[in-house]
Amino acid sequence: MKKYIFAFFATYLLSFTLAQHSTTIGLLGCHVQGRPAPSIEFFADVLQPDYAVWLGDNVYADTESDPQYIQDQLNVLAQKPGFQKLKANTPFFVTWDDHDFGLNGSDKNYIFKEESKEIHRKFWELETKVPEERDGVYYDEVIHLENGKSLQFIMLDGRFNHDSKNTLGANQWAWLETVLEKKVDLRFIVCGYQVLLPHMTRWESWAKTGKERKRLFKLIEKTQANNILFLTGDQHTTEVLRSQKKLNYFSYEIMACGINQTERPGRAPNRVLGPDLTLNSSPLIEIIWEEKDAQILFKNYNADTQEVVSSFTFRLSDIGPKH
């Protein structure tokens, strides 16, 4: 009898622990370094996320003449109030987009792409995650949480090998297949521009690179990768998209960029939240772990008022292959 009582309380305590445990992830990007960025301070001092994802255009460092200019703009970011505190207390996961790669709309033909890669590796302290010989800044990391759950951050590079028909390049596609085969409880695929946007717009997206998006979802199907959530940037709004019916995998995409700027939003027929045009937005994902499922809350805060201005909630069990 005592054995069954012990087993009951052990199960209860595990359930209670998982229910009480949450993981938070801050989203940052499209940051104009010459303007105040109260969102960085708000993340560092108030929200204090467990992890922070930099989605690209982390600074605007466009140059055709001197890669030192890229370094100089990153140095401006480093001096922003709250940046060093956030960096000291919160693990960073970082990718880039065209403006911090080096030039608006830049791709594999950008003249300073190798210099830019080295600046990126060193500033964001990615030397051990991004090998010097790698053709881009892509990497992944698996985090094992105290409650026994695991997260995977897959940081794609959509610039170094990008052209009108290619998004990632051959080496990155081969690498992506291997990392998608890892067994985790929730994985984030992070790219500097939108994946689930179904049509071409004036902004960058996977829809502009031929059949690459279809190739991505075929790879997801091949590897049987589970529980994928897309995190993207580029546009200066906050929104949530859901996958279209024609895709064989149901997921959501959180685009949360523009932490100190906004712009006129584009049209997205598969948008389920937004567009949120809050100027000093501070987007936060909260994962509430439960015994059989997890609840995923996306909340966008206004750093000026410290209030939630938009939100969206779904379950981990909502994501996966369509049957």
For residue 18, is pLDDT > 90?
no
Q: Which residue has the tokens 């790698």?
A: 134
For residue 12, is pLDDT > 90?
no
Please report the pLDDT score of residue 323 as a whole number. 65
Which has the higher per-residue pLDDT, 292 or 33?
A: 33
- Please state the rounded mean pLDDT for residues 134-160: 97
Please report the pLDDT score of residue 244 as a whole number. 86
Reported as a single tens digit per residue, the pLDDT across 237-275 is: 999 999 987 788 999 999 998 999 999 998 999 999 999
- Please state the rounded mean pLDDT for residues 151-174: 96
Reported as a single tens digit per residue, the pLDDT across 287-319 is: 999 988 999 999 999 999 999 999 999 999 999
Contacts of 100 (CB under 8 A, 6+ apart): 56, 57, 58, 59, 60, 61, 70, 73, 74, 120
For residue 202, is pLDDT > 90?
no
Nearest alpha carbon to residue 216 among 204, 228, 199 = 228
Q: Which residue has the tokens 């045009």?
A: 277
Q: In what order do the strands lie in the sheet with 271-276?
A: 139-144, 150-155, 186-191, 228-232, 252-256, 238-242, 271-276
Please report the pLDDT score of residue 248 as a whole number. 84
Compute CA distances 56 → 13, 59, 95, 179, whole Å: 41, 8, 5, 21
CA distance 118 to 202: 30
Please report the pLDDT score of residue 9 as a whole number. 41
CB 283 within 8 A of CB 26: yes
What CATH number is given for 2-321 in this structure?
Answer: 3.60.21.70
Residue 302: strand, helix, or coil? strand
Structure tokens that stand for 88 in this block: 């000291």
**pLDDT classification of 155: cutoffs 50, 70, 90:** very high
Please report the pLDDT score of residue 5 as a whole number. 43
Reported as a single tens digit per residue, the pLDDT across 103-129 is: 999 999 999 999 999 999 999 999 999
Please report the pLDDT score of residue 10 as a whole number. 40
Please report the pLDDT score of residue 210 as a whole number. 78
Domain ranges in the chain are 2-321
Average pLDDT score over the chain:
92
For residue 14, is pLDDT > 70?
no
For residue 19, is pLDDT > 60?
no
